[in-house]
């Protein structure tokens, strides 16, 4: 029994002083000093020797073993012709949306659901309105649409206030449809996730609205007709 305990203790000591763990600690310490306000969700060796993959929220960074150098960009496998970063970012985005939860989105559920997309929308955006005017077509294709707000004019803007009023309405789906048609009820205030939606959109690299995020976490910028979207989702 004593021998087993000694061997176990030795293995634990070896693990605690392994270069891998030491490097992870160095990276974590360096990142904490460089960007203290950013959460570090995971640190693990990247596909490229000498680099660590760092997941922070909906972003992926690459750090040197000592944490001195930090890279942000796309990592490609030239032989396999694969964007490694984008495939992993899809997983990160999906996890972020799951964490947000449907209870903090406005959901138009397809009767015979085949696919689920999350759409960052601006009530006053022309193509956002076009997309929503065809919501029945998306639902008929089996596509459930989960809306998150991203008022492009920013916090405190008229679009931002409209988003809050829609969220605080007794029937959010009905209120959103009316707002997309230009009819917004009296301004309302309540606890709402609009700021969280905006922060999440920014972390996804938002460049415009609408922005569609598929079930796999892939991003489709701009308006995509229902039939075309169904084909894209079926090919994922």
Residues annotated catalytic, as ranges:
122, 125, 128, 152
Look at the block and give the residue holding tokens 């690459």: 62
Decide if 57 contacts 41 (C-beta within 8 A). yes
Q: How many residues appear in the chain?
A: 236
Give the Cα separation of 112 and 2 in Å (integer): 62
Q: What is the 3-state secondary structure (H, E, C) of the chain?
A: CHHHHHHHHHHHHHHHCCHHHHHHHHHHHHHHHHCCCCCCCEEEECCCCCEEEEEECCEEEEEECCCCCEECCCCEECCCCEEHHHHHHHHHHHHHHHHHCHHHCEEECCCCCCEEEEEEECCCCHHHHHHHHCHHHHHHCCEEEEEEECCCCCCCCHHHHHHHHHHCCCCHHHHHHHHHCCCCCCCCCCCCCHHHHHHHHHHCCCCCCCEEECCCCCEEECCCCHHHHHHHHHHC
């Amino acid at each position: 029994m004593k021998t087993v305990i000694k061997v176990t203790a030795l293995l634990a000591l070896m693990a605690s002083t392994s270069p891998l763990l030491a490097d992870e600690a160095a990276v974590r310490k360096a990142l904490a000093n460089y960007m203290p306000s950013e959460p570090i969700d995971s640190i693990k060796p990247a596909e490229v020797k000498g680099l660590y993959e760092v997941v922070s929220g909906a972003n992926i960074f690459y750090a040197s073993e000592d944490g001195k150098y930090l890279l942000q960009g796309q990592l490609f496998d030239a032989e396999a012709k694969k964007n490694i970063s984008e495939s992993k970012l899809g997983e990160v985005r999906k996890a972020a949306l799951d964490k947000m939860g449907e209870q903090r989105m406005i959901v138009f559920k397809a009767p015979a659901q085949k696919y689920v997309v999350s759409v960052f929308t601006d009530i006053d955006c022309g193509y956002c309105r076009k997309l929503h005017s065809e919501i029945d077509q998306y639902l008929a294709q089996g596509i459930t649409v989960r809306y998150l707000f991203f008022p492009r004019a920013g916090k405190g803007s008229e679009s931002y206030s409209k988003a809050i009023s829609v969220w605080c309405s007794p029937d959010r789906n009905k209120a959103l449809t009316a707002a997309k048609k230009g009819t917004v009820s009296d301004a309302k205030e309540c606890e709402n996730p609009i700021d969280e939606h905006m922060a999440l959109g920014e972390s996804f690299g938002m460049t415009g609205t609408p922005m569609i995020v598929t079930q796999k976490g892939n991003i489709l910028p701009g308006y995509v007709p229902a039939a075309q979207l169904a084909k894209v989702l079926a090919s994922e």
